[in-house]
Amino acid sequence: MLRGVLMLGLITLGVVAVVWCVFNGPRLVAWAVAAARLLRILPPPPPTPLGMPIERISADLRRIRAKALSPVEVTQTCLDRIASDLQQKYELHPVKAGRRDIEARVWSLVHDHTTLAASLSREGGVLKGEVEAFLRSVRAA
């Protein structure tokens, strides 16, 4: 009697084990590969590159190439609009100075004040494209 119950339990356990192995095949394979690498039966996995794949970077560069190569022109009206928006938003007072002095002050304001830089550079920020174009033109000059 005990032998029959033991045999029935082993058969049930075997069926459950087979069904579990069927549903967890990928996990078992991963465990087997990890054990084989631990015992140095299999070579270590190849290194994975950090960062974005080179294919995606090249696709992005091809996509933005025309825009990046086109010259950006910053006019005095553009600078005046940027200055008036900055004066209103940050309660800045007008300064009598030459264009180079004003460009240097705008450059230092944008790079020294983190809240101003964050406000101008965030998605949907005030005049984001125009400020970036202005900063590129100042860097180029």
Model pLDDT, residue 88? 73
Find the range with the poorest average confidence among 52-56, 71-75, 126-130, 135-139: 126-130
Question: Could you give the CA distance from residue 38 to residue 41 in angstroms, rounded to a whole number?
Answer: 8
Residue 119, pLDDT score? 61
Residue 33 token pair: 């590969």
Q: Would you state the structure tokens that stand for residue 127, as one six-digit string?
A: 């005049």
